[in-house]
């Protein structure tokens, strides 16, 4: 794949003719553009080619606006560090102009009044041929405006080393967690492990892994009225399964308790695990790096249980902050990213990191490859991690502070009884909901 990087000399030579394609409201005057610094927090996609392309598109847009190179600052901020760094930046009124926003931060920052209304950009995207995936809009609809531009659907897919499961006598990923454990015991030969389960306290991969088991046994974080509902027989059974995988059958690496959101990516990419649940950033990195594991990796739904077999998906957004002194420039940058030709190029370079917001782009031959059959099925049946409820400020705080996963760790490390760990997690949820005035 082509790498898109611009040197200082190349930046100076970028043409401005394409500026005519940008909407008039986003064309800042040269004087104002030079006075304002455009700050973009680029959260790495675990794919250098895609990251380089976003940098190139940012600098291309800046040149169209008449900005000098020194007027633009691109900071690479890992996803796991964004919430903490943003809290400090908002405290002093100095957030970036643009960054990627996950669902949890969308709820928090939007409800706190930090995110600008981007309805005009979303309406422009809706008017394009084929429209957009409208399922991405409700979460960003806060206080009468759309507070984020949806930029990609991250379907959590089971990344499966089919060769390892075949060696253990399985033609496909087992359908249930009980069967998965039996396969995992045959596959695990330290330092190689069956399941790279994220169990660290960095939001939010670990919660997704935990809830993939909880949902299979009929548990949920909240009910359909958005009230805490974690304490249930299903959650207790799921905690027992997790404890069994980690402490009894030992098919999960010991170090997962300290992983950040890149831990399972790195373990799969380096050939240390046979299964990881993750957005397709793992698969895209295998494509980009021409991994020897690529041909043996398939994407599937995670194992299920008595309640069913479920996939989850989330949406990432681009957000602009009300405190930005360069709001028009910031909105223009997002508009530039989301032009179908630019966005389509990003998706292909990202190698499947996101499913497209523009459904028409799913017709590209890239998405028809056999390994994506399970991903397409997962996307069709996916539901939110927070099903049957939705994210609220209280639930957002619980996710951000990793309160559920903390109780999982208490069970795994301190020996807390699974039922007590579930009860304590529920109690903590109720305390947060009560403090924030949400129904319990």
From first to last of its 440 residues, the chain has per-residue pLDDT tens of 333 333 333 334 343 333 334 443 444 333 333 244 799 999 998 788 899 999 999 999 999 999 999 899 999 999 888 988 999 999 999 999 999 999 989 999 999 999 999 999 999 999 999 999 988 898 899 999 999 999 998 888 899 999 999 999 999 999 999 999 999 999 999 999 999 999 999 887 899 999 999 999 999 999 999 999 999 999 999 999 999 999 999 999 999 999 998 999 999 999 999 999 998 889 888 988 899 999 999 999 999 999 999 888 889 999 999 999 999 999 999 999 999 999 999 998 888 788 899 989 988 888 888 888 877 777 666 788 999 988 899 999 999 899 999 999 999 999 999 999 999 999 999 999 999 999 99
Question: So what's the pLDDT on residue 11?
Answer: 38
Nearest one of 291, 406, 288, 295 to 52, comparing CA atoms: 288
Question: So what's the pLDDT on residue 373?
Answer: 80
Question: So what's the pLDDT on residue 13?
Answer: 39
Q: How many angstroms separate the CA atoms of 311 and 197, rounded?
A: 15
Question: So what's the pLDDT on residue 380?
Answer: 67
Q: How many angstroms separate the CA atoms of 405 and 411, rounded?
A: 10
SS3 6: coil
Q: What is the dihedral of CA 403, 427, 242, 263, to 10 degrees?
A: 0
Question: So what's the pLDDT on residue 158?
Answer: 94
Domains of the chain: 8-154+314-368 (3.40.190.10), 157-310+377-435 (3.40.190.10)
User: What is the pTM assigned to this prediction?
Assistant: 0.75
SS3 92: coil
Question: So what's the pLDDT on residue 46?
Answer: 74
SS3 108: helix
**Contacts of residue 207, Cβ cutoff 8 Å, sequence gap at least 6:** 385, 399, 402, 404, 405
DSSP 8-state symbol, 383: B
What is the phi-psi region of residue 228: left when phi exceeds 0, alpha when psi lies from -120 to 50, beta otherwise? beta
């Amino acid at each position: 794949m082509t790498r898109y990087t611009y040197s200082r000399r190349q930046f100076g030579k970028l043409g401005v003719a394409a500026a005519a394609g940008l909407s008039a409201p986003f064309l800042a005057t040269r004087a104002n553009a030079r006075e304002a610094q455009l700050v973009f927090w680029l959260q790495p996609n675990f794919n250098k080619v895609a990251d380089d392309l976003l940098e190139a598109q940012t600098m291309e847009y800046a040149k169209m606006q008449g900005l000098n190179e020194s007027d633009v600052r691109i900071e690479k901020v890992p996803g796991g560090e964004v919430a903490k760094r943003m809290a400090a930046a908002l405290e002093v009124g100095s957030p970036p102009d643009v960054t990627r926003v996950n669902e949890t931060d969308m709820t928090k920052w939007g409800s706190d009044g930090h995110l600008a209304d981007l309805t005009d950009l979303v309406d422009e995207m809706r008017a394009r041929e084929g429209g957009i995936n409208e399922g991405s809009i409700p979460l960003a609809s806060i206080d009468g405006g759309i507070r984020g531009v949806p930029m990609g659907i991250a379907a959590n897919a089971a990344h499966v080393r089919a060769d390892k499961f075949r060696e253990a006598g399985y033609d496909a990923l087992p359908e249930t967690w009980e069967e998965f454990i039996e396969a995992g015991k045959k596959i695990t030969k330290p330092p190689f492990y069956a399941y790279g389960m994220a169990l660290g306290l960095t939001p939010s991969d670990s919660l997704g892994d935990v809830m993939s088991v909880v949902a299979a046994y009929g548990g949920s974080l909240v009910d359909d009225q958005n009230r805490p509902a974690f304490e249930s027989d299903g959650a207790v059974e799921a905690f027992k399964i997790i404890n069994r995988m980690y402490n009894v059958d030992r098919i999960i690496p010991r170090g997962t308790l300290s992983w950040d959101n890149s831990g399972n990516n790195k373990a799969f990419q380096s050939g240390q695990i046979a299964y990881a649940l993750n957005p397709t950033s793992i698969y895209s990195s295998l494509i980009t790096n021409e991994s020897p594991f690529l041909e043996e990796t398939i994407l599937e739904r995670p194992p299920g249980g008595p309640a069913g077999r479920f996939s989850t998906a989330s949406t990432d957004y681009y957000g602009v902050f009300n405190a930005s002194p360069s709001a028009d420039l910031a909105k223009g940058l997002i508009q530039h990213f989301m032009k179908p030709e630019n966005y389509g190029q990003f998706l292909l370079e990202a190698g499947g990191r996101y499913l497209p917001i523009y459904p028409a782009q799913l017709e590209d031959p890239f998405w028809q490859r056999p390994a994506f059959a399970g991903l397409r099925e997962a996307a069709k049946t996916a539901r939110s991690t927070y099903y049957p409820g939705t994210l609220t400020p209280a639930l957002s705080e619980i996710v951000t502070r990793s309160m559920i996963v903390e109780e999982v760790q208490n069970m795994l490390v301190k020996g807390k009884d699974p039922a007590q760990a579930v009860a304590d997690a529920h109690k903590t949820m109720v305390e947060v909901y009560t403090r924030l005035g949400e129904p319990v």
